[in-house]
Amino acid sequence: MQVTKRLFRILNTPFLILALLIVFSPIKATDESGTSEENYTETITTLTPHQEAVESVNDGASARKSRSLLSLPASYSSVTQGNVTAVKDQGNLGTCWTYAAMACAEAYLLSNDDADGVDDYSKDTLDLDELHLAYYGWHQLNDPLGLVGSDHTAWQNSTTGYLTTGGNNWITTFTLAGWAGYVNQLSGNTADLAYSVDDSHNFISNLSKDTAFSNGHDSFILTDTYVINMSDVSTIKNLLMNYGAGDIAIYWGAQYNNYLTDAYYCNDALKSANHEVTLVGWDDNYARTNFKTGTQPTSNGAWLVRNSWSDMFGNDGYFWVSYEDAVLSNSDAPSYSQATFYTVKPKDTYDNAYQYDGTKAASWMVSPYNTSITGANVFKAQKSEQLNAVSFFTYDQTNINYNVSVYLMAADSTDPTSGTKVADLSGTQTYAGYHTIDLTSPVNLAKNQKFSVVLTLSKASSGAKMLFEQN
């Protein structure tokens, strides 16, 4: 694999991983090699060098239909609630990360699509394509506005090697944030898939930007991620009830599984996560004695997990993971000990995304001596449009304050804070992650209008951190 990257700088400031969401007005986007559990290798740690630096969590306090922590039941299952699709089978491909992510999006849609009083989706009409995400995860062509240039992720010297390499929640998030990856296989149009529908997985060659974007934008777009540390049990339970499912990474080793009870508990904190699965429920009273003799946890309680090894594995494709699982709860490896939730909206919510992020290789910058840090991106409007929302990432810190300002700049200006300030909004993200913030009022943009988005992150108790792309 070769990853091609280019660093863009705005006024000597590393560009932010930030996107602007546009709506037109009338004037106006770890897995494993092998199918048996014994064959899974620890590859997730090598997939993203920045993994430890970009842990993602999002604002759990803003969860729609938030339930009181006092009302949390002792057990819950999105399966019994009817908010999951059929269990899938990744076969011999290293695509567990795509199966977990698509299962989460499906669960979110099934759990939340009736907000307008109309059920738009059902288990019989919703099947988000995992291989489509796998392709665009390693062949990123999500730049319909032509802003990224040569900055992209590309797999070379292999046509299908990426299908056995694996991925994780961050590769998923960066891909989906670029509006590539969500396609409903049951939409009736196989032309929207990146590959042929036979068992050989023959992928379409020479995909253009138009093809990539139209395919990836076929059904839904990512708006936010919620990645919560597994120690925050109440928040995870609330998000499960609100959003249906979460994406987690575990270490899979057959020696830790009780095949008689479908109960899994790894007691070795030195293990590294090697498998992505889908969190769909919990049972506080699940007996510790259900776990394998000799490796039993000290207390009752377990998470209900959906696998991607067909419904022949476990209990119809599901199994239990102890609350005390050493890898899932390892605070020394926070990239593993977290659950990622995804929220999506229909494709026609926004029309364009202005962004400079062409790869999934990000880093972070910290302000050690100050409690705040500021960065900016400058764009030129491609046509007469309305700017309706701004999206950005925050680092691993909780309760991070943000300020987003939008300026209309003169054509010859090089200062992103010059010109007329047309939007200014502030808030707090309870958790780190990917956030989409709606502007209080849309900003009208004339064609070729130069404009900037200035983002300030602040943290009262320690230096603020900001994600950016580096070469």
Rounded percentage of the chain residues whose pLDDT exceeds 70: 65
Residue 200 to residue 83: CA distance in whole angstroms: 31
Residue 469 to residue 456: CA distance in whole angstroms: 17
Asked if pLDDT for residue 38 goes beyond 50, the answer is: no
Element holding 99 (H helix, E strand): helix 96-112
- Counting the structural domains of the chain, the total is 2
User: In this structure, are 379 and 339 located in the same domain?
Assistant: no
31 in any annotated domain = no
Residue 78 to residue 73: CA distance in whole angstroms: 13
Q: Would you place residue 155 in the very low, low, confident or very high pLDDT band (cuts 50, 70, 90)?
A: low
33 in any annotated domain = no
pLDDT recorded at residue 56: 25
- Among candidate residues 345, 3, 309, 340, the one with its CA nearest the CA of residue 154: 3
Mean pLDDT of 305-318: 97
Considering 345, 376, 411, which residue would you say is the last residue of a domain? 345
Q: What is the DSSP letter of 106?
A: H
Asked if pLDDT for residue 81 goes beyond 70, the answer is: yes
pLDDT recorded at residue 380: 92
DSSP secondary structure of 214-263: HHHTSSEEEEEEEEEETT-HHHHHHHHHHHS-EEEEE---GGGEETTTTE
User: In this structure, are 292 and 374 located in the same domain?
Assistant: no
Domain that holds residue 307: 38-345
201 in any annotated domain = yes
User: In this structure, are 404 and 341 located in the same domain?
Assistant: no
Rounded percentage of the chain residues whose pLDDT exceeds 90: 42
Q: Would you place residue 366 in the very low, low, confident or very high pLDDT band (cuts 50, 70, 90)?
A: low
User: In this structure, are 101 and 228 located in the same domain?
Assistant: yes
Contact 340, 214 (CB under 8 A): no
Mean pLDDT of 286-302: 96
What CATH number does the domain containing 373 carry? 2.60.120
Residue 303 to residue 76: CA distance in whole angstroms: 10
32 in any annotated domain = no
334 in any annotated domain = yes
pLDDT tens digits along 95-126: 999 999 999 999 999 998 765 555 678 888 88
User: In this structure, are 416 and 438 located in the same domain?
Assistant: yes
What CATH number does the domain containing 184 carry? 3.90.70.10
pLDDT recorded at residue 3: 29
351 in any annotated domain = no
